[in-house]
Amino acid sequence: MRRILLAITALLILASCATYTVKDGYDSIVLPDESGTKLETRYRLISTDSPEEIVFSEPEPATEEDVGKSIPEAGIVEAPEIPESTEPEAAEAEEAVMPASEEDSLAEAEAEPMTESEAAEEKATEPSGAMTEPVRDINEYPVNLRDIKYPHVYTPANANKLKEGQIASVRVLMLDLGYRDLEEKSIDRIISSVQDTDPDFIILTGSLANQVYGAEEAGLDAVTLRGGTILYSSRLDRVSNGESAVFTVAEGKDLGIAPVSFRSTLPSTADEIDSWVSTIRAGEEESAAEIVDIAEGISDTEKLLALSSPSPATEDWTELTPYSYRKAESFAISDRLEEEGWMDAYAETHFSPETDSGITKISGDIYERLDFLYIKGMMPDYALTFPVAGLTDTIGNLGLIAEFIIP
């Protein structure tokens, strides 16, 4: 018996020592050359004035008791008796006889086809009680996206599905569509390739044009905020300052989400790394303060910050990773979020950056994790990154998916 126990213990120790790396998989991805003029360091979607909070929950229907109270007893009046008709009045009510000439002309008129104006007039006179399909407002996106107002709620599905059970888990997929306008066929491939992941929320960051086309192609309800677009199947309850939205996932279980998107200026060679880090240093304190302000503005206990960041996480940059250009560095955005009690979902569910790099962006010889799902008030179950057809093979971005448990 002791030998069996020793053998099992040895197997467990060997299994716990197993490590793996995804670098070989990333090296096999061939990307187009995107050399050219570098984009500006930091970009934020244009801010417009919006109400501090917009509530979308529908009012509760009136109860039978309320309906009964709304009609005072004094207002109920019995209908008066209708007197029987007299003989002369009955005679007047008899149908008048139409002359034969008028009957013929009326029959001819009825035999002739109606004009469009006559048909429209006849349709307008039809009884209003006829059963008709109600027209629902989808609230399409404006043709000129400069006219968009935040939040913009797009409801092609009008789903409002709620989960059941005491413990609710939510699956979140994050896709950074980049700031280079993607072709329609690329976005079509992106949406179709992630359908089998069955997420509860899809968060799109990147250019507004890419977000809007992605939302329209997915055909899911969506709310577009200043930092990104959230596709959802649950119930949208409220939006704060056009920055974050709160959803009801199950009865008594809400989730607040804030997407934040920055342009990526990731270099393509190791020779450009020092210059890139210097560029990050120039504006990271201001960006960190802005991100923390948006994150703390989420008006719910369970919070999710979906961040397409301009800088890596401090934890990822050590000299022991498979990427030779990295060295020990600290970055203000990840440090500030950690100080404020935010958990990095990927880092929390993986052993170390040396074995699990979680790459979300590839540019030439540079591999980095720049897309993050930070959480508060929830427990992370798992998180992983994966190549997405139409996205990874065009601009080098990968998808990030994670599942969380709402207590």
The DSSP result for 165-196, as a single string, is SSSEEEEEEEEE--SSPPPHHHHHHHHHHTGG
User: Is 50 exceeded by the pLDDT of residue 103?
Assistant: no
pLDDT for the residue 107: 43
Q: Which amino acid is at 25?
A: G
- Distance CA(403)–CA(380), nearest Å, equals 6
Output DSSP code: residue 164.
-
pLDDT digits (tens, 9 = 90+) for 263-296: 989 999 999 999 999 999 999 999 999 999 999 9
Output DSSP code: residue 248.
E
Torsion of CA 36, 37, 40, 45, to 10 degrees: -70
- Distance CA(407)–CA(397), nearest Å, equals 32
Strands 371-376 and 303-308, bridge-based pairing: antiparallel
- Distance CA(302)–CA(295), nearest Å, equals 11
Read off the tokens for 183: 């072709």
Nearest CA-CA partner of 201 in 406, 360, 407: 406
Longest dimension (CA), the chain: 116
Q: What percent of the chain has pLDDT over 90?
A: 62
User: Is 90 exceeded by the pLDDT of residue 312?
Assistant: yes
Q: Are 175 and 202 in contact (CB under 8 A)?
A: yes
Nearest CA-CA partner of 311 in 287, 341, 344, 338: 287
Task: Give this prediction's pTM.
Answer: 0.73
pLDDT for the residue 328: 93
CA 99 to chain CA centroid, Å, is 71
pLDDT for the residue 375: 98
- Distance CA(261)–CA(179), nearest Å, equals 10
Q: Is the dihedral of CA 385, 309, 231, 251 positive or negative?
A: positive
Confidence of residue 56 (pLDDT cuts 50, 70, 90): confident
Q: Are 172 and 199 in contact (CB under 8 A)?
A: yes
CA 385 to chain CA centroid, Å, is 18
SS3 360: coil
User: Is 50 exceeded by the pLDDT of residue 40?
Assistant: no
3-state secondary structure 37-85: CCCCCCCCCCCCCCCCEEECCCCCCCCHHHHHHCCCHHHCCCCCCCCCC
- Distance CA(303)–CA(373), nearest Å, equals 10
The DSSP result for 105-163, as a single string, is HHHHHHHSPPPHHHHHHHHHTS-TTS--PPPP---PPPSSGGG--SSEEE-SS-----B
Output DSSP code: residue 315.
G
Read off the tokens for 362: 């590839």
User: Is 90 exceeded by the pLDDT of residue 89?
Assistant: no
Q: Which amino acid is at 384?
A: L
Q: Are 224 and 197 in contact (CB under 8 A)?
A: no
Q: Are 170 and 203 in contact (CB under 8 A)?
A: no
pLDDT digits (tens, 9 = 90+) for 314-337: 999 998 899 999 999 999 999 999
Output DSSP code: residue 16.
H
Q: Are 237 and 254 in contact (CB under 8 A)?
A: yes
Read off the tokens for 210: 């890419």
pLDDT digits (tens, 9 = 90+) for 214-237: 999 999 999 999 999 999 999 999
Read off the tokens for 89: 């009045």
pLDDT for the residue 120: 52
Q: Are 273 and 91 in contact (CB under 8 A)?
A: no
Nearest CA-CA partner of 24 in 352, 322, 385: 322
Confidence of residue 167 (pLDDT cuts 50, 70, 90): confident
Give, in order, the Cα–Cα distances in Å from 60 to each of 57, 63, 202, 239, 249: 9, 9, 29, 20, 18
pLDDT for the residue 106: 40
User: Is 50 exceeded by the pLDDT of residue 109?
Assistant: no
